[in-house]
Amino acid sequence: MVDISVMLCGIELSNPVIPASGTFGYGYEFREFYDINILGSFSFKGTTKEPRFGNPTPRIAECTAGMINSVGLQNPGIEKVISEELPKLKECFNKPVIANISGFSVEEFVYCCELIDNCEQVGIIEVNVSCPNVKHGGMSFGTSEKSVFEVTKAVKKVTTKPVVIKLSPNVTDIVSIAKACEDGGADGISLINTLLGMKIDLKTKKPVVANKMGGFSGPAILPVAVRMVYSVYEAVKIPIIGMGGVSRAEDVIELMLAGAAAVQVGAANLINPYAAKEIIEDLPKVMNKYGIKSLKDIIGGAHNG
């Protein structure tokens, strides 16, 4: 009998598999496919202070071993998420959920995190610092050590629940960014978000997505995710949620060996709505194949040799 349970920021999860933000809606949409309580948890759709329609269409482009998306944080705003979306979720999900919060200023991050911190259903707050910071020339919060430190410190002042900072891989040195999060008081690191990508239609000779560029995700980026999780694990003492190209139980174990305490599944959910469920069901078989008795015991295992 194998043990697939894990601990994440002081919360015990029945397994490490967590659908990633933006790929699982607010959860209840998937209940028609299966009982979502099989999940360790899930990170709900990126939520901002004000409602957002998102970017113009087309927003999605298929490409080799992955996809490009430029949805643009479409969501109804934090207040409606709390008053309308979370009550719907409560009807079908009885585990702590991860609240993914995005913002365009430190003040907006603080506002949203303080509100969501009061929600009983929320176990962990995932702060996405990969979005454009319109107050600083369009730079992303997640590309500056100073910015991620400021956001983390400000959010931690108004929250009581664990705060995990979701980082962008579109940086020169992911380790220094992660360390800045830890210095700011983060309880965990979530990585990687999508890589910046582009696809051009050969017939029209124009970019496929209206925004020209978007986030590249899918199996092709798994080696990048493994490398970044491995590097960050050696530099920080706080837990890591690994993600990027996960589509199989084997990918979960690889990221955990690199140092992840839990693993998010993103683009795979958009291709196969049963992806996370199938990965969870396959975990015991794959663990037996590789002589693994407990997932807790393999976290960071690739650093021991």
Q: Residue 305 has what pLDDT?
A: 63
| Range 244-273 average pLDDT | 97
Among residues 9, 113, 131, 181, which one is catalytic?
Answer: 131
H or E stretch including 13?
Answer: strand 11-13
Q: What is the pLDDT of residues 157-181, one digit of tens each?
A: 999 999 999 999 999 999 999 999 9
Closest by alpha carbon to 252, among 13, 9, 1? 13
Measured torsion, CA atoms of residues 259, 166, 31, 92, in degrees rounded to the nearest 10: 100
Residue 119, pLDDT above cutoff 90: yes
Is the pLDDT reported for residue 143 higher than 90?
Answer: no
Provide the pLDDT for residue 117: 98
Q: Domain 6-55+71-198+216-303 adopts which CATH fold?
A: TIM Barrel (3.20.20)
- State yes or no: is 92 an active-site residue: no
- The fraction of the chain above a pLDDT of 90, given in percent, is 88
**Is the confidence at residue 55, as pLDDT, over 90?**
no
Q: Quickly state the pLDDT bin for 73 (edges 50, 70, 90).
A: confident
Task: Assess whether pLDDT exceeds 80 at residue 134.
Answer: no
pLDDT of 72: 86
- pLDDT tens figures, 270-283: 999 999 999 999 99
Q: Where are the alpha helices (DSSP H) in 1-92?
A: 78-80, 86-90
* 207, containing H or E segment: strand 206-207
In three-state secondary structure terms, 141 is helix
242: confidence class by pLDDT, cuts 50, 70, 90: very high
Please determine, for residue 77, whether its predicted confidence score (pLDDT) is greater than 90. yes
User: How confident is the model over 18-36, as pLDDT tens digits?
Assistant: 999 999 999 999 999 999 9
- Residue 48 · residue 104 · CB < 8 Å: yes
Which amino acid is residue 45, in one-letter code? Answer: K
Lowest-confidence segment of 38-52, 121-135, 276-290 by average pLDDT: 121-135
Q: What is the DSSP string of 253-300?
A: HHHHHHT-SEEEE-HHHHH-TTHHHHHHHHHHHHHHHTT-SBGGGGTT
Residue 139: per-residue pLDDT: 46
17-19 β-sheet, strand order: 17-19, 262-265, 240-243, 188-191, 163-166, 122-128, 97-102
- Band of residue 298 on the pLDDT scale cut at 50, 70, 90: very high
